Structure 1
Amino acid sequence: MATYQTELPDETISTVVSGTTVEQLKGKSFTEIIDTLIFPTTVRDLVQPQLYYSSMQSLVEVGSEF
């Protein structure tokens, strides 16, 4: 199986897949590279679900007693 070989410097950054360097692609098969280009992995931010509950029926001033 053919692998990616290049004479570009390792620190060369891809303009297609942001942040990908030549060094990261060296030795990968062409199938792996094409898969990476067509189906890039996206990292999503994890948002912690939140639930708020209040039995208060009206606004209460901070520092006041209810």
Structure 2
Amino acid sequence: MVDLTEEEHMAILGSLKPVARQMETYGWETRLSELTEVQVLWLIETAVQEFREAMAEIAAKSEIPF
């Protein structure tokens, strides 16, 4: 497991909602292996994009140390 910063952890939590909404459309009982390549890629791309956006928001709120 990678040691996450507090900011990274917060960004991961922030990316869960969009991914969870899509998983609801697939069905929570659906195994990852049952999804199409396009569906899996959508989940991954959404998670990465949401993570990036959350990290950018966190960085924008941070104080500049100089």
Q: TM class, shorter-chain normalised?
A: under 0.3
Larger radius of gyration: 1
Q: Give 1 or 2: higher helix fraction.
A: 2
Indicate the structure whose relative CO is greater, using CA pairs within 8 Å and at least 6 residues apart: 2
**TM-score after normalising by structure 2:** 0.25
